[in-house]
Amino acid sequence: MTKESQTNLIRVHVFVSGSVQGVGYRYSTYNQAKQLGVNGWVRNLADGRVEAVFEGEKAAVDRIILWCHQGSRSAVVKNVAVQSEQPQGLTNFEIKGRDW
């Protein structure tokens, strides 16, 4: 990674609500992140939302945020809340276990 691309790194914490559990949303997110070269993680929350952290080059993170508004084929996304955070240097993308 070049110094220029390191300065272009961003991190966002995303909460997706709607019918997003039991419809392949996490696995589709994983595949999309891998395609875009975005690092981070995704998991289901007890309240029915999906939580994710995306870290990478701004253009790629912006693209996965846009993708989150649609999600997997069976998902019905109602809202995508995005919070900016400081990048932490994540090096892969994973599907985490649920939070309950």
* Phi and psi at residue 63, to the nearest 5°: -65, -40
Catalytic residue among 31, 39, 43, 44: 44
Catalytic residue flag (residue 79): no
44 in catalytic set: yes
- From 26, 43, 63, 79, active-site residue: 26
What residues are annotated to the active site?
26, 44
